[in-house]
Structure 1
Amino acid sequence: MSIFLPFIYMIIGLVIGKFLPDIRSGLSRLLMKILIPYVIAYNLITYREGMVIFAALSIVFCILLFSISYTFSRNKLTALSFSYLNVGWLGLPLAVAIFGDMASRVIIAAYIGSSIFGNIACVAAMQEHGNWRVMMNKTLTSPPVLAVVAGVVLRILPLDLAGSPELKIGYDLAKHLMSIVGMCILGIWLYSSRITTASIKTSIPLAFMRLVSGGIIVCLFVLIANILRIEVVIENAPVLFILPLLPPAANIVVLETYYRGTGHSASMIASGTLISLALLFLYASALLTL
């Protein structure tokens, strides 16, 4: 039943989108500036093996996807939508629902890596002449990076916060709220997005191209991990295979509007999200039968 809870939260979001669409901005701020940063910081305070590895793999994964897409499309916005994925809002709730709490460290680390990539790639893709000062400032002041800094500093300080029961209670609460809020926002956003037959037809081949190319990349990661005996990657390989199934990050359309004054990616993201939800549902259902 827990596997299907994120989809139930998304349906609730669709209902909220009909009656209270303006609540989306407040929920987004709660998610991006409080819940996700708290979960990231706590995981670094109670650091477990492999987080740096998974963050690095996520950055490489995104860069390779961007390169593959740009090679074929020669369109930076298309390449960005192909490679900057919805790891935080969608990937984390589903990974925890499917694989349990241990999967959270993998997806949180992947989210940190994808956020670093996304903040740099978005500025580079949206502006004709990327300003590196703007890129670095945006990256270093983004909530995920600030949460990483806070988590590392608090871990280094002799405060023994890792054993704090209060922080653990806060973490459990934030983690569950993040699943609920993230999927509700996704539902609200999908309700207000314009999805056309043309956008669906465009998104289907992109989703399957991401599935195939991303799946090959993850297979290579796991193969290299087997050769190098990196057990933490081998043990969490099924979690990593969620990444190629994820849709484009909703943050892309916000940045496109800010930098270009357009919203061409909105229908692509909405359509891609629907297709990814179907693929993720099939993946979760297949795992249930194993």
Structure 2
Amino acid sequence: MATLLPFIYLLVGILIGKRQLNVKTFSSLVLTKIVIPLIIIWNISLHLEEMVWVITLTMVSMLAIFACRHWMGKDAIRSLCFCYLNIGWLGLPIAHALLGDEAARFVLAAYIGSSIVGNSIGANYLKKEAFSVLKILSSPPVIALLIGCLLIPVGDDIEVFGYHVYVVSKFLMSFLGMMILGIWLYETSFKKSDVLAYTKSYVFRIVILSTVVLVVFCISYTSNSEVVYQQLPWLFLICLLPPAANIIVLETSYLGTGTSAARISVETMASIVVIVAYGIVVHSLNL
């Protein structure tokens, strides 16, 4: 059931789009300024030690991929779609359903790292302003990371008194994010050429990311380390994810457009098919 919820929220967004209710901008602000920072604060204050290496690796990898892709073509939206994946709103419930709680914790850490980079670096480029370290440090995800670190000594109190706030924030993160995607889906027209082009882009990204994972695995294997081997199921799952629906949130907030909706929609549909096949393979191998 948890795996189906994001798609139910997507349907709600499509229905809202039919009603022509103008809620995209407000919902985007709530997500970027309140909900996502609260999710980051909660998890950093309680689970930083076990998550820090995944967060760091995700951030470094995203920055490297974004820089390479942006160097190839100065299009911030395309660059974000290539490196900023739907780890939180789609990957997390699927990881929990397919791979269990432990894998879901690591996927959550990857989401935090990707959220920090995607929301801060991405917003900076979408604004088309000169790169500013100060603006990056003052962005909501980075401030949330710093607040979470400061609250580590009182993590037990955060867990007790902030639990219900966290539960509501998790729901809003999935609901509002997929709802906004659904609204844009209703408002976006598709061309056959777009479907083919975006599907090719999705397959190309899978090849690139999977190759990186395999290289890291080989290095780990030759050094007699089993760490990467134990993490392969969720690492490959992340490789199969589509671009983050939050890219639409960022584009809506900073540009007032939704050009990424078609790409994200096509790749999401392709991803669903591939992930279903991946789930069958995972269960058949008992990973």
For normalisation by structure 1, the TM-score amounts to 0.78
Map Cα deviations across residues 137-180 of structure 1 (whole Å, 9 max, x no partner): 33222222121111100114xx3535743323433343344333
Residue of structure 1 equivalent to 2:209:
214
Cα separation, 2, equivalents of 1:75 and 1:166: 45
Q: Is the 8 A contact 2:62 2:117 kept in 1?
A: yes
Residue of structure 1 equivalent to 2:39:
39
Deviation at 1:184, TM superposition (A): 2.9
Deviation at 1:211, TM superposition (A): 0.6
Deviation at 1:104, TM superposition (A): 4.1
Q: Is the 8 A contact 2:180 2:248 kept in 1?
A: no
Structure 2 vs 1, CA of residues 250 and 139 (structure 1 numbering), >3 Å: closer, same or farther? farther
1:120 aligns with 2:121: yes
Structure 2 vs 1, CA of residues 121 and 170 (structure 1 numbering), >3 Å: closer, same or farther? closer
> Superposition RMSD on alpha carbons, in Å?
3.4
Q: Is the 8 A contact 2:14 2:182 kept in 1?
A: yes
Q: Which amino acid aligns with 2:149?
A: V
Structure 2 vs 1, CA of residues 59 and 193 (structure 1 numbering), >3 Å: closer, same or farther? same
Cα separation, 2, equivalents of 1:259 and 1:43: 27
Q: Is the 8 A contact 1:99 1:239 kept in 2?
A: yes
Which of residues 220, 233, 237 in structure 2 aligns to 1:238? 233
Q: Is the 8 A contact 1:76 1:125 kept in 2?
A: no
Report the secondary structure of 2:4's partner residue: helix
Deviation at 1:206, TM superposition (A): 0.6
Q: Which amino acid aligns with 2:274?
A: L
Counterparts in 2 of 1:110-189, with a 5 A limit? 110-118=110-118, 119-120=120-121, 123-124=124-125, 127=128, 131-133=130-132, 136-156=133-153, 159-161=154-156, 164-189=159-184
Q: Is the 8 A contact 2:177 2:249 kept in 1?
A: no
Report the secondary structure of 1:61's partner residue: helix
Cα separation, 1, equivalents of 2:14 and 2:224: 45
Q: Is the 8 A contact 2:28 2:253 kept in 1?
A: no
Report the secondary structure of 2:244's partner residue: coil
Which of residues 185, 199, 202 in structure 2 aligns to 1:204? 199
Residue of structure 2 equivalent to 1:12:
12
Q: Structure 2: any 5+ residue segments left out of the alignment?
A: none
For normalisation by structure 2, the TM-score amounts to 0.79
Structure 2 vs 1, CA of residues 221 and 89 (structure 1 numbering), >3 Å: closer, same or farther? same
Q: Is the 8 A contact 2:42 2:148 kept in 1?
A: yes
Structure 2 vs 1, CA of residues 197 and 137 (structure 1 numbering), >3 Å: closer, same or farther? farther
Cα separation, 1, equivalents of 2:127 and 2:149: 31
Q: Which amino acid aligns with 1:203?
A: Y
1:271 aligns with 2:266: yes
Report the secondary structure of 1:132's partner residue: coil
Structure 2 vs 1, CA of residues 237 and 40 (structure 1 numbering), >3 Å: closer, same or farther? farther
**Greater mean deviation of Cα atoms: 87-96 or 255-264:** 255-264
Structure 2 vs 1, CA of residues 197 and 26 (structure 1 numbering), >3 Å: closer, same or farther? same
Q: Structure 1: any 5+ residue segments left out of the alignment?
A: none
